[in-house]
Amino acid sequence: MTDKLRPLKIAGLGYCVPETVITNDDLTKLYETSDEWIYTRTGIKERRVVSGNETAIDLGLDAAQKALAKSGLKPEDIDCVISAASVPPQLYPTLACTLQDKLGIPNQVPAFDLTAACTGLIYALQVARGFIGAGIYKTILIVASDNNSKITNWEDRGTSILFGDGAGAMVVTEAEDGIDDILSIQISADGSIGQMIQTNMPGQCCPLVEQADEVGTGKIIMNGKDVYKFAVTTVPAYVEDCIKKSGLTSEEIDYLIPHQANQRIIESIQNRLKYTDDKVISNIKYYGNTSAASIPIALVEGVEQGKIKLGSTAVLCGFGAGMTWGAAVVRLRKGIC
Ligand code: UT7
């Protein structure tokens, strides 16, 4: 089945993070905590947050413009837009529709948001692969953008230490040279454990009827311990399985670019693959968990900092609310970022 799909080329990538930095020390102004506690438990030293009127739309727009520039393609070449955000700044118009307009992508082009929390980029890549593989669309813009700081409960020291804001974008297109940049990809979900991370939207019933017992706060509620256990027991074996399906061995893959949720979770995947530190891309120290954006931010920044040499292969993996998880083995061509 997969052999019959048209090949997909990853043509361009970009990322954007807000300028405002909140350090662990800054958080001590909000509640009792310490840089030492946060850093040893998570690997995080600081995170970026939007401020004023800035939202995930601005971050996504900037990331998308950079990805388009790198791809050498123009807004007119895009024939589908998929946005992935854990919680978009507005439910509608969607992030994808808003970006279609702001980027000057022709206004008949389909644009939609896809919600798979921190696994959003891998889910969007799988959907894009289906569209391109089946010949439905040729060139797709994927934008993963999150302003987590707006849905964070800043009184909860168990969750607000973790999250940060940022965006990543990827332009994918049918590969005219016949080389598929997706060597393997898989996505999964288990709704039966979905209560581990929740964001319940506020909203009352019609005033003429009985009201619900509880009204959502619109803020992240998380059982960190359960999420941690889920991640370290599920993700490493899943990544190994995805590598097996790519036809490569883990030694043959150049980099692990995981979702940046907790340094200890990253290390659990690293240990399973027996990778040395130079093969593992981690920037959680400076950005915290930027949800769906964390993989593309780590990838592009890794290239900019010389940690990733292009003309290589990488295994990407994500996991998050839903619960959802996914992995992909991809080819990183020269010049994509
Ligand atoms: O995309 C997926 C997103 N989610 C995740 O990846 C979350 C994964 N989970 C985690 O990263 C960890 O569970 C946390 C870092 C969130 C928490 O670490 P933990 O080792 O599971 O700590 P805990 O929640 O069990 O708390 C241990 C203690 C508690 O005190 P007591 O009850 O032992 O007295 C907490 O009240 O640490 C306390 N505590 C803190 N102390 C200082 C919790 N948060 C803090 C804090 N500063 N920020």
Q: Examine residue 296 and say whether the peptide bond preceding it is cis (omega within 30 degrees of 0).
A: no
In the annotation, is 242 catalytic? no
Same fold, 8-174 and 182-332: yes
pLDDT, one tens digit per residue, over 86-97 is: 989 999 999 999
* Buried/exposed code over 257-284 (b: 16+ C-beta within 10 A; e: otherwise): bbbbbbbebbbbbbebbebeeebbbbbb
Q: Could you tell me if the CB of 228 is within 6 A of ligand 1?
A: yes
The class (CATH top level) of 182-332 is alpha beta
- Helices 263-273, 224-246: axis angle to 10 degrees equals 30
In the annotation, is 259 catalytic? yes
Measured by CA distance, the residue closest to atom 20 of ligand 1 is 41
Q: Which of 97, 118, 317, 337 is catalytic?
A: 118
The predicted model scores a pTM of 0.96
Measured by CA distance, the residue closest to atom 29 of ligand 1 is 158
295: amino acid identity, one letter: I
Predicted local distance difference test score (pLDDT) of residue 59: 98
CA of 38 to the centre of ligand 1 (A): 9
Q: Could you tell me if the CB of 262 is within 6 A of ligand 1?
A: yes
In the annotation, is 24 catalytic? no
Q: Given 1.10.10.10, 3.40.47.10, 3.90.850.10, 3.40.50.2300, which CATH number is that of 8-174?
A: 3.40.47.10
Predicted local distance difference test score (pLDDT) of residue 3: 60
pLDDT, one tens digit per residue, over 324-335 is: 999 999 999 999
Q: Could you tell me if the CB of 112 is within 6 A of ligand 1?
A: no
CA of 224 to the centre of ligand 1 (A): 6
Cα–Cα dist 275/260, whole Å = 17
Measured by CA distance, the residue closest to atom 12 of ligand 1 is 224
Domain range annotation of the chain:
8-174, 182-332
Predicted local distance difference test score (pLDDT) of residue 272: 94
Cα–Cα dist 246/259, whole Å = 20
User: Could you list the pLDDT tens digit for every one of the 337 residues in the chain?
Assistant: 456 899 999 999 999 999 999 999 999 999 999 999 999 999 999 999 999 999 999 999 999 999 999 999 999 999 999 999 998 999 999 999 999 999 999 999 999 999 999 999 999 999 999 999 999 999 999 999 999 999 999 999 999 999 999 999 999 999 999 999 999 999 999 999 999 999 999 999 999 999 999 899 999 999 999 999 999 999 999 999 999 999 999 999 999 999 999 999 999 999 999 999 999 999 999 999 999 999 999 999 999 999 999 999 999 999 999 999 999 999 999 999 9
